[in-house]
Amino acid sequence: MALTGKGMMIWKIPNCEGGNASAIANAAAAAGFSHVLIKIANDTRPYNVDASGKDLVAPVVDALRAKGMQVWGWHYVYGYDPLGEARIAVSQTKRFALDGYVIDAEVEYKEAGRDAVARSFMTELRKGLPSTPVALSTFRWPTYHRSFPYVAFLEKCDYNMPQVYWMQAHDAAYDLKRSVSEFKAITPYRPIIPTGPAFGQSGWAPTAGEVRTFMDTAKSLGLKGVNFYSWDYSRTKLVEVWNEIAKYNWPPDNTPQPARFDPVTKIFAALNSRQFAPILDIYAKNAVLVTPRQTIQGDENIRAFYEQVMMTELNGGDFRVTSKTSKDNTIHFNWTCKSKTGTVTDGKDTIGIRNDAVIYHYCYYTIS
């Protein structure tokens, strides 16, 4: 799904609605956000993990998804261990089954020799995330930062998210128009979703009017969306700016598109609601389901398999998809489950589709 509409970036989850996932999702929905971008890593380490080691990202991702929003992860990279940074990016993006990943690369990548480092990072990243949308977030004006390896990053990106922060100035339209113009002069050009400022620094802060001008200008330039940084600051310290962003009418692109058959979401919704009928509707009449123990074919046998899983093997389980990739008519996904009768940490399935029905399903898991 293309990225359109208004988005907000989260830096530190505990600083947003007190870290309450439901409150974050409710506030995002009330503000009309189509997407939220959460910091998931810093250099080679996971981010938004509390002092006890508890991950704070997953519940926020789940709550936002339940409200129909896309959830992207962003990651500040330094380039001193590009392979390690790429690996944590892949791991975190897959772990939360994120809709996209954003590279936040800044001053460290202006050092000499960083073109090769950027290419090394991007090659490793794309090995692990071949089909996940990826965006670059960095300086607004390439002519001010000529040593930055824009091309090395953008060659393997899908979007460009320049940080159009009019620091110590007040001409949002000029800054954005110049940014778009300068990036259009770079090959490859990627669709621009600019990030505007929703923070203050050194006595400066944007006004609500400037933020409105920024969004008006983005629309006039034909851009499909905008982001703002950050939720942490604007929600409590720039309330007028937050409110201006929230009330601005920029819904996602609602151009009618053919509904996409998504058997994985339907299967896991049925598993978690303990319903058999929706699952059986997903499979073709003579579908084959293969497990490590048996090969199953036909409605009744497939129903019996799911009944065994739901009611006995993983009774009352919390089933979660941890990663999903699609190519043509094949879907690969990993999953986990915690239940009172057992735990699965290694679920690894492949589904084949024809005419909006599952024709084969290879299902691997072990219960501990």
Give the DSSP letter string of 215-233: HHHHHHTT--EEEEE-HHH
What CATH number has the domain bearing residue 292? 3.10.450.50
Q: Is 114 contained in some domain?
A: yes
User: 189-243 pLDDT, tens per residue?
Assistant: 999 999 999 999 999 999 999 999 999 999 999 999 999 999 999 999 999 999 9
- Widest pairwise Cα distance in the chain: 69
Q: What is the reported pLDDT for 1?
A: 65
> 238 and 156 share a domain?
yes
> 283 and 136 share a domain?
no
First-residue to last-residue Cα distance in the chain: 36
Q: Is 258 contained in some domain?
A: no
Domain with 239 in it:
5-247
Q: Which of 222, 247, 272 is the last residue of a domain?
A: 247
> 332 and 356 share a domain?
yes
> 221 and 270 share a domain?
no
**Model's pTM, two decimal places?**
0.72
The structural domain count of the chain equals 2
> 354 and 214 share a domain?
no
| Cα–Cα distance measured from residue 121 to residue 119, given in angstroms and rounded to the nearest whole number | 5
Q: What is the reported pLDDT for 132?
A: 93
> 178 and 282 share a domain?
no
> 321 and 233 share a domain?
no
Q: Which of 247, 272, 302 is the last residue of a domain?
A: 247
> 165 and 273 share a domain?
no
> 100 and 182 share a domain?
yes
Whether the CB-CB separation of 118 and 150 falls below 8 Å is answered with no
What CATH number has the domain bearing residue 48? 3.20.20.80
Q: Is 254 contained in some domain?
A: no
Helical spans, DSSP H, in 130-275: 150-154, 172-184, 208-220, 231-237, 239-247, 263-273
Q: What is the reported pLDDT for 201?
A: 95
Q: What is the reported pLDDT for 256?
A: 57
User: 334-358 pLDDT, tens per residue?
Assistant: 999 999 999 999 999 999 998 889 9
Mean pLDDT by runs of 10 across the 368 residues of the chain is 92 97 97 97 97 94 93 98 98 94 97 96 96 96 96 97 95 96 96 98 96 97 97 98 96 61 87 85 92 90 92 92 85 93 95 91 94
Q: Which of 205, 220, 247 is the last residue of a domain?
A: 247
Q: Is 253 contained in some domain?
A: no
Q: Is 179 contained in some domain?
A: yes
> 104 and 207 share a domain?
yes
Q: Is 57 contained in some domain?
A: yes
The phi, psi pair for 165, rounded to 5°, reads -105, 110
Q: Is 99 contained in some domain?
A: yes
> 89 and 229 share a domain?
yes
> 160 and 298 share a domain?
no
3-class state of residue 285 by DSSP? strand
Helical spans, DSSP H, in 21-81: 21-30, 57-66
